[in-house]
Chains A and B, each alone.
Chain A
């Protein structure tokens, strides 16, 4: 028995010493920035970035091969910290985007042509006489986006329109793809001013259909101090469009818009503040890494 214990102990010690020497001799000098980034990362090795774990991701970030925004669980807070370690400007990383509904034609605002009694599906509703709503551009109000959202961020409101919870929305693009009318769009959270109308009919026609439609009056265009809003030609008609490269989120156009088709939503800017600089343990339990779907 003693022989067994001693010989195994000797073998163990021998291997330990060999590994110890090898560890010193074959030590690979790491970039200290890699270790620092690994420390601040979520460390779930979830693979949402498409790489094999957080350590590989950190190395790729330091090598400049991937954008730190790829770490979904880390969120905006992580980009900032990585930017500080890498000595670059955080603004060069793409910001968080959430889905916005480009339509305000609820039950009260937009006239209904007929009573639709079919299956609750936007595609099917559209197939019957271009949908029950008189506006052929906006939301069909059948809730496909709400059903498509994997995070439950979209709820159908009392006016029949979907409401996106910008705190829960991860910008996964599922609803954008699902919507047959392209009324949902991913817009960066730093932009709270959005044109909530897609109707490119003539101003008078649009106004007759919907009380909150863009009537192409160009008041936004004239009042914008940054020259960021324009009533642009779409071939089929014209529509006010905000150029987010120039927009400073001042909200003057939203205040001047006679039909309130342009709106400034302050809860979006709060979402920015909450997302950045929020302590890690206060983050929502779901980090939208997608791991649950693959396991």
Chain B
């Protein structure tokens, strides 16, 4: 039990996928202008991340390892993630049209979100059991959503702030991201 707790705290706060491992920066900066859209993006990425974490673990342990073709891992994982995103898009479009509309273009963009591939590979690198890999994926998904929501909260307030013209937009967003990353460094003594 304690081990699971350590995995959760480590993945959400200490090794936050965005702010400490710098994966998935694109949606972190691109979809963090509004709180509502960042929540939607966080939800979609979480869904794909957990599902792909499960399938990649199964493929790794029941196909790649027995056939001794571990070096094909990256290609196989990308194939899985891309198909999964397509599949999720189809299912969502059929059964939850409002959610599909709300996510819009962000949904297919998850295919190229390196956080998804990153977490799948970390699962394998750390040699987790299936249960631990699932908890690990879930916590990283929560960490991603947390970073996105925090960023969008700050950026929504930035709208009213008096920022010098040359710093408006992306420059100030990158500065905020850097400061958030530094502050998340403070969690490193937690475990």
Contact = CB atoms under 8 A, between A and B. Distances in A.
B188 interface: no
Contacts of B59: 11
A52 interface: yes
Given A4-B72, A11-B79, A56 B87 contact: no
B161 interface: no
A23 B90 contact: yes
A59 to B, nearest CB: 9
Nearest to A23: B90
Interface in A238-273: none
A286 interface: no
B104 A15 contact: no
Given A8-B72, A26-B93, A56-B104, A18 B67 contact: no
A20 to B, nearest CB: 11
Nearest to A22: B90
Interface residues of A, number: 18
Contacts of A4: 67, 69, 71-72
B39 interface: no
B116 to A, nearest CB: 16
Contact of B79 (A3, A15, A52): A15
B79 A26 contact: no
B68 A3 contact: yes
B91 interface: yes
A34 to B, nearest CB: 13
A12 interface: yes
Nearest to B169: A294
A19 interface: yes
Nearest to B72: A4
Interface in A23-80: 23, 26-28, 52-53, 56
A56 B86 CA distance: 19
Contacts of A16: 83
A7 interface: yes
A22 B101 CA distance: 19
Given A15-B80, A52-B104, A22 B91 contact: yes
- Grouping DSSP codes into helix (H, G, I), strand (E, B) and loop, the A interface class, with mixed when no group exceeds half, is helix
Contacts of B69: 3-4, 7
The contact size tier of chain B is 20 to 34
A106 to B, nearest CB: 37
Interface string B45-66: 0000000000000010001100
Nearest to B101: A56
B126 interface: no
Interface string B69-113: 101100110011001001100110111010001001100000000
A8 B77 CA distance: 11
Given A19-B86, A22-B87, A11 B63 contact: yes
Contact of A26 (B71, B76, B83, B94): B94
B100 to A, nearest CB: 9
B103 to A, nearest CB: 10
Contacts of B67: 3-4, 7
A7 B83 contact: no
A59 B91 CA distance: 20
B54 to A, nearest CB: 15
Nearest to B67: A3
A15 B91 CA distance: 15
Nearest to A45: B105
Contacts of A56: 101, 104
24 contacts: A3-B69, A7-B63, A7-B67, A7-B69, A8-B79, A11-B76, A11-B79, A12-B79, A15-B79, A16-B83, A18-B83, A18-B87, A19-B86, A22-B87, A23-B90, A26-B90, A26-B91, A26-B95, A27-B94, A28-B93, A28-B94, A52-B104, A56-B101, A56-B104
7 pairs of A and B residues whose beta carbons are closest in the complex: A15-B83, A26-B94, A4-B69, A26-B90, A52-B104, A3-B67, A22-B90
